[in-house]
Amino acid sequence: MSDHSGLTIALNKGRILKEFLPMLAACGIEPSEDMSASRKLVFDSRTGGHKLVVMRGADVPTYVEYGAADVGITGKDTLMEYEGGSHFYERLDLNIGVCKLMTAAPPDTDLTSGRLRVATKFVNVTRRYFEAQGRQVSIIPLSGAMEIAPLMDLADCIVDIVDTGNTLKANGLVALDTIAHVSSRVIVNRASMKTRFDAVQNLIDTLRGQVAAANPLIGSKP
Protein backbone atom coordinates (compact mmCIF):
# COMPACT_ATOMS: atom_id res chain seq x y z
CA MET A 1 0.00 0.00 0.00
CA SER A 2 1.29 3.44 -0.87
CA ASP A 3 2.20 5.86 1.91
CA HIS A 4 -0.08 8.92 2.14
CA SER A 5 0.72 9.59 5.82
CA GLY A 6 -0.51 12.61 7.64
CA LEU A 7 -2.35 14.46 4.88
CA THR A 8 -5.21 16.84 5.66
CA ILE A 9 -7.90 16.34 3.04
CA ALA A 10 -10.79 18.77 2.55
CA LEU A 11 -13.93 16.99 1.36
CA ASN A 12 -16.96 18.44 -0.42
CA LYS A 13 -19.99 17.25 1.58
CA GLY A 14 -23.03 15.75 -0.12
CA ARG A 15 -23.06 13.74 -3.32
CA ILE A 16 -19.35 14.18 -4.03
CA LEU A 17 -18.40 12.93 -0.56
CA LYS A 18 -20.61 9.85 -0.93
CA GLU A 19 -19.04 8.99 -4.29
CA PHE A 20 -15.48 9.75 -3.21
CA LEU A 21 -15.30 7.85 0.10
CA PRO A 22 -15.03 4.40 -1.59
CA MET A 23 -12.19 5.73 -3.76
CA LEU A 24 -10.45 7.06 -0.67
CA ALA A 25 -10.93 3.73 1.10
CA ALA A 26 -9.26 1.99 -1.84
CA CYS A 27 -6.25 4.23 -1.13
CA GLY A 28 -6.16 2.87 2.43
CA ILE A 29 -7.68 6.03 3.96
CA GLU A 30 -10.89 5.56 5.95
CA PRO A 31 -12.49 7.74 8.64
CA SER A 32 -12.24 6.41 12.19
CA GLU A 33 -16.04 6.59 12.52
CA ASP A 34 -19.12 6.65 10.32
CA MET A 35 -19.33 10.15 8.82
CA SER A 36 -23.02 9.81 8.01
CA ALA A 37 -23.87 9.03 11.65
CA SER A 38 -21.89 11.92 13.14
CA ARG A 39 -22.33 15.67 13.37
CA LYS A 40 -18.56 16.15 13.51
CA LEU A 41 -16.79 17.88 10.64
CA VAL A 42 -13.20 16.77 11.34
CA PHE A 43 -12.38 13.06 11.38
CA ASP A 44 -9.16 11.20 12.04
CA SER A 45 -8.31 8.28 9.78
CA ARG A 46 -8.13 4.69 11.02
CA THR A 47 -4.47 4.52 9.97
CA GLY A 48 -1.81 6.89 8.68
CA GLY A 49 -2.56 9.96 10.80
CA HIS A 50 -4.69 11.72 8.17
CA LYS A 51 -7.39 14.27 8.89
CA LEU A 52 -10.57 14.31 6.81
CA VAL A 53 -12.46 17.61 6.95
CA VAL A 54 -16.03 17.86 5.63
CA MET A 55 -17.23 21.27 4.40
CA ARG A 56 -19.25 23.14 1.80
CA GLY A 57 -17.78 22.75 -1.65
CA ALA A 58 -17.25 26.50 -2.03
CA ASP A 59 -14.94 26.47 1.00
CA VAL A 60 -12.66 23.66 -0.21
CA PRO A 61 -10.48 25.85 -2.48
CA THR A 62 -10.00 28.40 0.32
CA TYR A 63 -8.76 25.78 2.79
CA VAL A 64 -6.34 24.41 0.19
CA GLU A 65 -5.29 27.87 -1.04
CA TYR A 66 -4.25 28.96 2.45
CA GLY A 67 -2.63 25.65 3.41
CA ALA A 68 -5.15 24.57 6.05
CA ALA A 69 -5.59 21.44 3.91
CA ASP A 70 -2.98 19.70 1.76
CA VAL A 71 -5.50 18.23 -0.68
CA GLY A 72 -9.09 19.11 -1.59
CA ILE A 73 -11.92 17.42 -3.47
CA THR A 74 -14.56 19.62 -5.08
CA GLY A 75 -16.45 20.23 -8.31
CA LYS A 76 -15.05 21.94 -11.39
CA ASP A 77 -17.92 24.44 -11.17
CA THR A 78 -16.62 25.54 -7.76
CA LEU A 79 -13.09 25.94 -9.10
CA MET A 80 -14.35 27.97 -12.07
CA GLU A 81 -16.22 30.30 -9.73
CA TYR A 82 -13.36 30.67 -7.22
CA GLU A 83 -11.40 33.90 -7.64
CA GLY A 84 -8.15 32.70 -6.03
CA GLY A 85 -6.26 29.61 -7.07
CA SER A 86 -2.70 30.93 -7.30
CA HIS A 87 -1.60 28.71 -4.42
CA PHE A 88 -3.01 25.36 -5.53
CA TYR A 89 -2.76 22.99 -8.46
CA GLU A 90 -5.66 21.15 -10.10
CA ARG A 91 -4.18 17.67 -10.47
CA LEU A 92 -6.85 15.10 -11.34
CA ASP A 93 -10.34 14.67 -12.76
CA LEU A 94 -12.04 11.96 -10.68
CA ASN A 95 -14.94 11.57 -13.14
CA ILE A 96 -17.48 11.53 -10.31
CA GLY A 97 -20.21 14.07 -9.54
CA VAL A 98 -20.66 14.46 -13.28
CA CYS A 99 -23.15 17.11 -14.46
CA LYS A 100 -23.35 20.26 -16.61
CA LEU A 101 -23.39 23.97 -15.93
CA MET A 102 -26.08 25.34 -18.23
CA THR A 103 -28.38 28.21 -19.03
CA ALA A 104 -32.11 27.53 -18.73
CA ALA A 105 -35.32 29.48 -19.26
CA PRO A 106 -39.06 29.01 -19.81
CA PRO A 107 -39.92 27.68 -23.29
CA ASP A 108 -40.15 30.26 -26.08
CA THR A 109 -38.35 32.93 -24.05
CA ASP A 110 -36.56 35.39 -26.35
CA LEU A 111 -32.97 35.55 -25.11
CA THR A 112 -31.49 36.93 -28.31
CA SER A 113 -31.93 40.66 -27.78
CA GLY A 114 -31.90 43.30 -25.07
CA ARG A 115 -30.27 43.21 -21.67
CA LEU A 116 -30.77 39.84 -19.99
CA ARG A 117 -31.55 39.35 -16.33
CA VAL A 118 -29.71 36.20 -15.21
CA ALA A 119 -30.22 34.55 -11.81
CA THR A 120 -27.36 32.38 -10.56
CA LYS A 121 -25.03 31.54 -7.72
CA PHE A 122 -22.20 31.28 -10.26
CA VAL A 123 -21.73 35.03 -10.59
CA ASN A 124 -18.14 35.03 -11.88
CA VAL A 125 -18.65 32.20 -14.37
CA THR A 126 -21.85 33.76 -15.66
CA ARG A 127 -20.26 37.18 -16.11
CA ARG A 128 -17.34 35.72 -18.08
CA TYR A 129 -19.64 33.57 -20.23
CA PHE A 130 -21.88 36.41 -21.35
CA GLU A 131 -18.99 38.86 -21.73
CA ALA A 132 -17.38 36.39 -24.15
CA GLN A 133 -20.61 36.50 -26.16
CA GLY A 134 -20.69 40.29 -26.08
CA ARG A 135 -24.04 40.22 -24.27
CA GLN A 136 -25.24 42.84 -21.81
CA VAL A 137 -26.56 41.14 -18.66
CA SER A 138 -27.74 42.02 -15.19
CA ILE A 139 -26.66 39.24 -12.84
CA ILE A 140 -28.97 38.52 -9.92
CA PRO A 141 -27.12 36.55 -7.20
CA LEU A 142 -29.14 33.78 -5.56
CA SER A 143 -27.97 31.07 -3.19
CA GLY A 144 -30.48 28.43 -4.25
CA ALA A 145 -33.79 27.58 -5.94
CA MET A 146 -32.79 29.41 -9.11
CA GLU A 147 -35.61 27.67 -10.99
CA ILE A 148 -38.30 29.90 -9.52
CA ALA A 149 -36.63 33.18 -10.54
CA PRO A 150 -38.05 33.23 -14.10
CA LEU A 151 -41.45 32.07 -12.82
CA MET A 152 -41.57 35.05 -10.45
CA ASP A 153 -40.33 37.43 -13.16
CA LEU A 154 -37.14 38.08 -11.22
CA ALA A 155 -34.99 36.92 -14.13
CA ASP A 156 -35.23 36.03 -17.82
CA CYS A 157 -33.04 32.95 -17.46
CA ILE A 158 -30.79 31.14 -14.99
CA VAL A 159 -27.33 29.60 -14.93
CA ASP A 160 -27.23 26.48 -12.78
CA ILE A 161 -26.01 22.92 -12.43
CA VAL A 162 -28.10 20.41 -14.39
CA ASP A 163 -27.99 16.69 -13.66
CA THR A 164 -31.13 14.87 -14.84
CA GLY A 165 -33.04 18.01 -15.79
CA ASN A 166 -36.05 16.85 -13.78
CA THR A 167 -36.03 19.89 -11.48
CA LEU A 168 -36.01 22.23 -14.46
CA LYS A 169 -38.87 20.37 -16.09
CA ALA A 170 -40.92 20.33 -12.88
CA ASN A 171 -40.61 24.11 -12.70
CA GLY A 172 -41.45 24.77 -16.34
CA LEU A 173 -37.91 25.46 -17.60
CA VAL A 174 -35.85 23.94 -20.40
CA ALA A 175 -32.08 23.52 -20.48
CA LEU A 176 -30.41 25.61 -23.19
CA ASP A 177 -26.67 26.17 -23.64
CA THR A 178 -23.94 24.18 -21.93
CA ILE A 179 -21.35 26.45 -20.32
CA ALA A 180 -19.15 23.67 -18.92
CA HIS A 181 -19.04 19.95 -18.32
CA VAL A 182 -18.52 19.48 -14.59
CA SER A 183 -16.94 16.71 -12.54
CA SER A 184 -15.07 16.44 -9.25
CA ARG A 185 -11.39 17.40 -9.16
CA VAL A 186 -8.39 16.90 -6.87
CA ILE A 187 -6.58 20.10 -5.95
CA VAL A 188 -3.30 20.34 -4.04
CA ASN A 189 -1.74 23.17 -2.08
CA ARG A 190 1.41 24.36 -3.90
CA ALA A 191 3.58 24.26 -0.79
CA SER A 192 2.32 20.76 0.12
CA MET A 193 3.16 19.60 -3.41
CA LYS A 194 6.78 20.51 -2.70
CA THR A 195 7.22 19.69 0.99
CA ARG A 196 5.04 16.55 1.00
CA PHE A 197 5.57 15.47 -2.58
CA ASP A 198 5.79 11.69 -2.01
CA ALA A 199 2.64 11.49 0.12
CA VAL A 200 0.62 13.71 -2.20
CA GLN A 201 1.84 12.12 -5.43
CA ASN A 202 1.24 8.59 -4.14
CA LEU A 203 -2.34 9.51 -3.29
CA ILE A 204 -2.90 11.06 -6.72
CA ASP A 205 -1.34 8.09 -8.52
CA THR A 206 -3.54 5.64 -6.63
CA LEU A 207 -6.66 7.68 -7.39
CA ARG A 208 -5.62 8.01 -11.04
CA GLY A 209 -5.38 4.23 -11.27
CA GLN A 210 -8.93 3.89 -9.94
CA VAL A 211 -10.26 6.45 -12.42
CA ALA A 212 -8.55 4.69 -15.32
CA ALA A 213 -9.84 1.26 -14.18
CA ALA A 214 -13.41 2.54 -13.83
CA ASN A 215 -13.30 4.49 -17.12
CA PRO A 216 -10.93 2.68 -19.49
CA LEU A 217 -12.08 4.73 -22.50
CA ILE A 218 -11.84 8.02 -20.65
CA GLY A 219 -8.90 7.65 -18.28
CA SER A 220 -7.83 10.62 -16.22
CA LYS A 221 -7.60 14.25 -17.29
CA PRO A 222 -5.51 17.03 -15.77
The pTM is what? Answer: 0.89
The CA angle 149-151-153, to the nearest 5 degrees, is 70
Residues with Cβ within 8 Å of 164's Cβ and at least 6 positions away in sequence, in order, are none
**Cβ atoms 118, 125 nearer than 8 A:** no
pLDDT in tens, 89-146: 999 999 999 999 999 999 989 888 889 999 999 999 999 999 999 999 999 999 989 9
**Cβ atoms 36, 14 nearer than 8 A:** no
Sign of CA dihedral 19, 20, 23, 24: negative
How many whole angstroms from its chain centre is CA 178?
Answer: 16
**Domains of the chain, earliest start first:** 8-97+183-214 (3.40.190.10), 99-181 (3.40.190.10)
